[in-house]
Amino acid sequence: MGPEILRDLTFDIPHRSFQFLTGPSGAGKSTLLRLLFLSLQPTRGLVRTFDRDIATIPRDELPMLRRRIGIVFQDFRLLDHLTTFENVALPLRVRGKEESSYRADVLELLKWVGLGERINVLPPVLSGGEKQRAAIARALIDQPELLLADEPTGNVDPPMARRLLSLFLELNRLGTAVVIATHDLSLMDQVEARRMILSQGRLDIYE
Amino acid sequence: MNETTERNAQDRAPQKRPEMQVRPTAPIVPPANVSGNALMCVIAIMAFLACLTYGAVSMVRATAASWQSQISREITIQIKPDDKLDMEAALRDARDLALTFSGTKDGQIVDRAATARLLEPWLGEGLDLDELPVPRLVIITIDERNPPDFAAMRQALTETIPQAFLDDHRTWVNRLVAMAETTAWIGTAVLVLVFTAMVLTVIFATRGALSGNRHIIEVLHFVGAEAGFVASEFQKHFLKISLKGSFAGGALAALVFAIAGYWQSRSLATPESDQATALFGTFSVGLSGYLGIAATMLIIALLTTLTARFTVMRTIFEIDRIRSDPARTDGVPSS
């Protein structure tokens, strides 16, 4: 087993809260997000998500819990054979919803993230920024209770970053707890929000 | 003037752009890719080989069974010539005596002309049987399901006609039965080997085709798809591939048998056809053969579908196992 990446952390993500998670590269931001997304278990200590100890959640209950979490992967993880529309609608499709029931919502969200003209385009044709926006739209489409975003503005220009930030804030106003992992100081300066700074495996929180 | 102003106003008004149409929803699993096409080819080839082997083995088994039944359907009474013996009367007596036993159906005396024909390859044409001490034969057809008591028949014949000898072909039949059974067992062993190779090839080819789709399984799993949903999407996809492949291979094998049977029926009594018939029997696999081919196709389709399901479930299990084993990072998004 490798070295401990995170240790002695105690924090909570309150309902409807908004926070940035920051720190130098390799500090463990992505690992912390993975723990929150239930894709890793801690080697020691306790992580509770939706009032459940994640180490004891049975495998077959994970999909239902993950449906309450939206995640923006740093490497986007879009499916190359599906269009932007289909990628964004994927979380709804796997929940068994009919396309007619969500088409308008997906189109509206795509317009909001500036991809209204790119709905039938496949990811290999999209630019890095467009892929990132599509990945963000996919994470937001079902209005999750918790949104985890790993460097969500890393590939977009400042105006688009501001636009995406306002989208996250709007989602937060509607009741979603948001955790944004970022290096972007200018992005963090735009919002009065809790800052969680990871450094050498330790966490300092500035309310 | 007013009309011109109105037209200019219309021209200046912003044009409403047409709403973009969403394309028909694509399947979650990409419908065609290189590995999918390769898998279809592998399935078609294995289905063809398996169906061909099945048909050939069923043909060999039928031929072996017919050897056995044709020989054991007849026994022969041989009467050696003797100066004191009226051969023709002895032949008739032997036939009549044999037919008194239950289990016999018919008796036929091999007449002089037929006997001469039998000896023709060795002694040439124009043979005068009176000049040579040639034994004569009576062929008795028996009910193979209810054969007569050969020992009693042999004893009765010897008592009545001492020169008579009953040949129930037992030694020959036993050898032939042993050979037929060996042939059938070899055929079955070949069939088992080919089916085993088919099962393994289909399983590994399916797993190979699926390995290129791991990222799809991961994404579906991470956006909240249940394992059963992911598995059913891949099952549907692989069922289509396997049905296409196995149908192509099975249909080709059936066609080969149909063409061979047609050729044989069209070329009856030619040396080539006789040779093939002597070696392989008739190229007719019959209804059971075609049903076997259909069953093979269904087995392949089922096998591919189940392999796809188990592989997807196992992949999801692996993804979740990484969750509980932080030393493993494969498949986890990089930090």
* Contact predicate A95/A142, CB 8 Å: yes
Give the C-alpha separation, B237 to B40, whole Å: 12
Give the C-alpha separation, A160 to A181, whole Å: 17
Interface contact B22-A85, CB threshold 8 A: yes
pLDDT of residue B335: 38
Q: Classify residue B199 by its DSSP letter.
A: H
The pLDDT tens digits for B96-149 are 999 998 888 889 998 888 888 878 777 777 777 777 788 889 999 888 778 888
β-strand pairing of B136-142 with B74-79 = antiparallel
Query: Which of B308, B288, B213, B310 is CA-nearest to residue B61?
Result: B288
Query: Is the pLDDT confidence value at B324 over 60?
Result: no
Query: Is the pLDDT confidence value at B333 over 50?
Result: no
Per the model's pLDDT, the better-predicted residue between B2 and A85 turns out to be A85
Average pLDDT, chain A: 87
CA torsion sign for B1, B6, B12, B18 is negative
The whole-angstrom distance between residue B159's C-alpha and the CA centroid of its chain comes to 52
Residue range B31-38: mean pLDDT, rounded: 75
Give the C-alpha separation, B46 to B43, whole Å: 5
In angstroms, how far is the first alpha carbon of chain A from the final one?
A: 34
Percent of chain B clearing pLDDT 90 (strictly above): 9
The burial class, CB within 10 Å (0-12 / 13-18 / 19+), for A153 is: buried
pLDDT of residue B45: 92
Query: Quick one: pLDDT band at residue B326, thresholds 50, 70, 90?
Result: very low
What are B167's strand-pairing partners? B76
How much is the CA Rg of chain B, to the nearest whole Å? 37
For A131-146, letters b (16+ CB in 10 Å) and e give bbbbbbbbbbbbebbb
Copy the structure tokens of residue B5. 């102003």
Q: Which residue of A has its CA nearest to B324?
A: A41
Task: Give all strands of the β-sheet with A202-206 in edge-to-edge order.
Answer: A69-72, A146-150, A177-181, A18-22, A194-199, A202-206
Q: Classify residue B139 by its DSSP letter.
A: E
Give the C-alpha separation, A121 to B140, whole Å: 85
| ipTM score assigned to the predicted complex | 0.86
Interface contact B221-A138, CB threshold 8 A: no
Task: Out of A71, A86, A119, name the one closest to residue B222 (CB).
Answer: A71
Taking the Cβ of residue A4 and every Cβ of chain B, the question of whether any pair is shorter than 8 Å is answered with: no
Query: Is the pLDDT confidence value at B281 over 80?
Result: no
Query: Which of B139, B166, B147 is CA-nearest to residue B69?
Result: B147
Instruction: Look at the block and give the residue holding tokens 């399984």.
Output: B217
Average pLDDT, chain B: 80
How many residue contacts between A and B have a Cβ separation below 8 Å?
103
Query: Quick one: pLDDT band at residue B75, thresholds 50, 70, 90?
Result: confident
- Chain A positions touching B219 (Cβ under 8 A) are 77-79, 90
Query: How many angstroms separate the Cα of A94 from the Cα of each of A39, A77, A202, B20?
Result: 19, 16, 37, 24
pLDDT of residue B34: 67
- Chain B positions touching A34 (Cβ under 8 A) are 332-333
Interface contact A71-B332, CB threshold 8 A: no
Give the C-alpha separation, B4 to A165, whole Å: 48
Taking the Cβ of residue A121 and every Cβ of chain B, the question of whether any pair is shorter than 8 Å is answered with: no
Per the model's pLDDT, the better-predicted residue between A49 and A4 turns out to be A49
Triad B165, B167, B170: Cα angle to 5°: 150
Return the number of other C-beta atoms located less than 10 Å from residue B122's C-beta: 7
The pLDDT tens digits for B143-190 are 877 888 888 998 998 898 888 998 887 777 778 778 877 877 888 898
SS3 of residue B111 by DSSP: coil
The pLDDT tens digits for A34-82 are 888 888 888 888 888 888 888 888 888 888 888 999 998 888 899 999 9
Give the C-alpha separation, B303 to A15, whole Å: 48
The whole-angstrom distance between residue A204's C-alpha and the CA centroid of its chain comes to 21
What are B251's strand-pairing partners? none
Task: Out of A63, A75, A81, name the one closest to residue B226 (CB).
Answer: A63
- Chain A positions touching B326 (Cβ under 8 A) are 1, 40-43
The pLDDT tens digits for A128-187 are 888 988 998 999 898 899 999 988 887 778 888 888 888 889 889 988 999 999 888 888
Q: Which residue of B has its CA nearest to A115?
A: B20
Query: Quick one: pLDDT band at residue B275, thresholds 50, 70, 90?
Result: low
